[in-house]
Homo-oligomer: A and B are copies of this chain.
Amino acid sequence: MRYPNGKKYVASKEEKVDKPHRSLLSAANRGMSLEEDINLSNEYYRDAGIALITKRPTPINIVKVDYSKGARITDAYFEKQSTTDYNGVYKGKYLDFEAKNTKSETSFPLSNISEHQIIHLKNVLKHGGIAFFIICFQIKNEVYLLDASFVIEFYEKGGRKSIPYSVFKEKGVLIKQDYTPRLHYIDAVNELYFR
């Protein structure tokens, strides 16, 4: 396994002891590293030849560039991602997903999902792609994969803008947490879409 800097991956002593502890046992910190865990899992999946999933860079609006310093950006601001964070290819199919944390134990609030993302995921489904969410219930230390159609359904119906935990239990797939990959989410993709 190799990282983009070309160095071979060797688990450090610290990683062997602390990171799994953080990742597997410490519920409070668990969700904070969801993005990191997905990125590491994607590196593993890429290097093992299993799937090719990449994270879209955060879009940034550049106001000023100082060319005297070799194209140094001196003024810019973050833009909202109008699509999702991740997409890629698995067994020839297009995969697209968004990953989110919640501190709630009873439901996933839809307040931090934008309408742009919902429209984007509806389009993905329309074109025959696979679209889902990876949701981490931080207190429970459980990570679920749920097809985007359920999220779209809850987003578009009136009233309470959250998805009950029970929907994840019944319609989603619990993602196994491990060392490499941190999140076996392609197993969940297999279970939901390739059986």
CA distance A71 to B67 in the complex (A): 23
CA distance A94 to B94 in the complex (A): 4
CA distance A158 to B87 in the complex (A): 34
Interface flag for A124 (CB, 8 Å): yes
Given contacts A60-B76, A87-B88, A88-B94, 13 further A-B contacts (CB under 8 A): A4-B116, A46-B123, A52-B127, A54-B56, A58-B60, A73-B73, A73-B77, A76-B76, A89-B124, A89-B129, A90-B127, A91-B127, A92-B94
CA distance A126 to B93 in the complex (A): 12
CA distance A56 to B57 in the complex (A): 7
CA distance A46 to B74 in the complex (A): 34
Once A4-B82, A90-B127 are accepted as A-B contacts, the answer to whether A73 and B75 lie under 8 Å apart by CB is: yes
User: In the complex, how many residues of chain A place their beta carbon closer than 8 angstroms to a beta carbon of chain B?
Assistant: 41
Least CB distance, A35 to chain B, in whole angstroms: 15
CA distance A83 to B82 in the complex (A): 20
Contacts of A72 in B (CB 8 A): 75-77
CB closest chain-B residue, reference A87: B87
A128→B91 contact, CB < 8 A: yes
- Using a CB–CB cutoff of 8 Å, the interface residues on chain A facing chain B are 4, 46, 49, 51-52, 54, 56-60, 62, 70-78, 82-83, 87-96, 116, 120, 123-124, 126-129
CB closest chain-B residue, reference A127: B89
A74, A82, A91, A123 — most chain B CB neighbours (10 Å): A123
Least CB distance, A46 to chain B, in whole angstroms: 7
CA distance A91 to B126 in the complex (A): 9
CB closest chain-B residue, reference A123: B52
A58, A87, A94 — most chain B CB neighbours (10 Å): A94
Least CB distance, A51 to chain B, in whole angstroms: 7
A71→B78 contact, CB < 8 A: yes
Least CB distance, A107 to chain B, in whole angstroms: 29
